[in-house]
Structure 1
Amino acid sequence: MRFYHYTKARYALETLRTGHLKVATLKNLNDPFELLSLTFKTKEERGIQRKLKDFLERKVGLLCLSKSGREPVMWSHYADCHRGVVLAFDTGPEDIHEVTYRKTRKPHALDLTQNTVAQLEPLLLETLTTKASSWSYEQEWRKLIFEKDWIVKQLPNGDGSGTVSAPFYDFQKDMKLVEVILGPDCTTTPDAVKATLTAGGLSARVIKARRAFRSFSVVQDQTTKGGHPAPRSS
């Protein structure tokens, strides 16, 4: 199965150099309803839900992938307004799950006289892979990365006040990098990407993308060396 990861150019180069993909922590995702796809009637039930959310945020992270590398809104939101890069991976189905999109939150009830942990356990995967239908353009699939598999690194804090811990994942364990797609407005050159791939001991096709002539999509530039021409219908 092929999946696409949208990112900024500088982060892509670091990923190619190290073989490590940054893990998205649940508490830092941009959806305010993350882990809240279920809705409960009582304050007690909602309190249990918040405890579950707090627990998952500490123990589980995600590699956020898409089934499409052509979606212009994804390029805008996650690849630096078309200045970034998309990394294409081939991977098996292990620990990777399709996101379900819903128009409304799903009602649920807990029996507070019984073990609530046992009742919530079968719902964990659903909780981790359900989002509002307004996010459906992402065509998202999620690879769950558990704390024991995190590679924790110290990164510069955004405000320049020091460093902050961030988890990464060695994608070479079970994912094969197959393409590096440079955005239409990306200033990083194919030669720079190829040099970084070599330094990281990786190999992949390097492709330059463009905005399609006849559709609202981002497609391969026909002049990309070593690649296949984009479809004429684009």
Structure 2
Amino acid sequence: MRVFHFRDAEFGLKSIKERRLKVARILELNDPFEFLGANLKDREFRRAMNNIKEKLSETKGLLCFSKTWNNPVLWSHYADHHRGVCLEFEIPEKNLSKVDYVEERIQYSGDIDTSLMRRFLTTKFEHWSYEQEYRAFIGLDLESAEDGLYFMDFDDNLVLKSVIIGHSSLVTRLDVSTALGSIKGEVETFKARAAFTRFEVIRNENENRWT
């Protein structure tokens, strides 16, 4: 399945050069409702969910992707206001979980089992739906941490297919070629631009616009 990951220019090129992506921790995500999409009116349940969230963040991380690269809001929010890059990956669909977007908090009753936890981990408020998000959940190996950070290497489960340069980006062809190194012949690269008739980001077919 083809999915897209947005970064600013510095860390986007760094990810390409090092052939890896930084794994996000649950407590680091930018939505305070992450894993707390249930109705938490009950105090005991609220306390239990917050405890589970903290413990889960110690052993599980995730990589976040979008189904699309054309949405200008994604570029604004996650690629440094169109100055960054977007990386396209091929990932086995079985390794990805689609995020569901809902209007109301989940009404909970019963035991907290694996299925319910999975649902909490893939449920967000409907106003986030523009992201069209897919998530890959990663087990954290404490011994592999680098200054408290975790990474997933590019491999058969995370294959880089293309590098898209934001329309306001100063990243050059040489920058991308240098970062790609030996795999530059396997990865498509191109510059994006704002469409003329739609609120959409598209490929700039004028190759002279990217030096």
Q: What is the TM-score when the length of structure 2 is the normalising length?
A: 0.92
8 A contact 1:61–1:147 mirrored in 2: yes
- How much is the aligned-residue C-alpha RMSD, in angstroms? 1.9
1:224 counterpart (194, 207, 210): 207
CA 1:218 to 1:201, structure 2 compared with 1: closer, same or farther past 3 Å? closer
C-alpha separation in 2, matches of 1:60 and 1:123: 16
2:166 counterpart (183, 188, 197): 183
Is 1:143 aligned with 2:136? Answer: yes
Counterparts of residues 69-218 of structure 1 (less than 5 Å)? 69-110=69-110, 116=111, 119-148=112-141, 151-154=144-147, 165-198=148-181, 203-218=186-201
How far residue 219 of structure 1 moved from its aligned partner, in angstroms, is 0.6
Question: In the comparison of the two structures, how many residue pairs are matched?
Answer: 208
C-alpha separation in 1, matches of 2:207 and 2:3: 21
> CA-to-partner distance for each residue in 1:51-75, whole Å, 9 max, x for gaps?
1111111111111100000110000
8 A contact 1:40–1:109 mirrored in 2: no
How far residue 151 of structure 1 moved from its aligned partner, in angstroms, is 4.2
How far residue 124 of structure 1 moved from its aligned partner, in angstroms, is 1.5
SS of the equivalent of 1:38 reads coil
8 A contact 1:180–1:206 mirrored in 2: yes
1:160 corresponds to: none
8 A contact 2:177–2:184 mirrored in 1: no
C-alpha separation in 1, matches of 2:115 and 2:23: 24
8 A contact 1:16–1:202 mirrored in 2: no
Structure 1: gaps (5+ residues): 111-115, 155-164, 226-234
C-alpha separation in 1, matches of 2:164 and 2:53: 35
2:45 corresponds to: 45
1:2 corresponds to: 2
8 A contact 2:161–2:188 mirrored in 1: yes
8 A contact 2:163–2:189 mirrored in 1: yes
C-alpha separation in 2, matches of 1:151 and 1:185: 36
Structure 2: gaps (5+ residues): none
CA 1:96 to 1:202, structure 2 compared with 1: closer, same or farther past 3 Å? farther
> Which amino acid in structure 2 is aligned with residue 191 of structure 1?
L
Q: As a proportion of its length, which structure holds more helix?
A: 2
SS of the equivalent of 1:23 reads strand
8 A contact 1:6–1:78 mirrored in 2: yes
How far residue 6 of structure 1 moved from its aligned partner, in angstroms, is 0.4
How far residue 24 of structure 1 moved from its aligned partner, in angstroms, is 1.1
Runs of 4+ in structure 1 deviating by more than 6 angstroms, as ranges, are: none
1:15 corresponds to: 15
> Which amino acid in structure 2 is aligned with residue 128 of structure 1?
L
Structure possessing the higher relative contact order (Cα contacts under 8 Å, 6 or more residues apart): 2
1:158 corresponds to: none
- Quick check: which has more Rg, 1 or 2? 1
SS of the equivalent of 1:44 reads helix
C-alpha separation in 2, matches of 1:149 and 1:64: 21
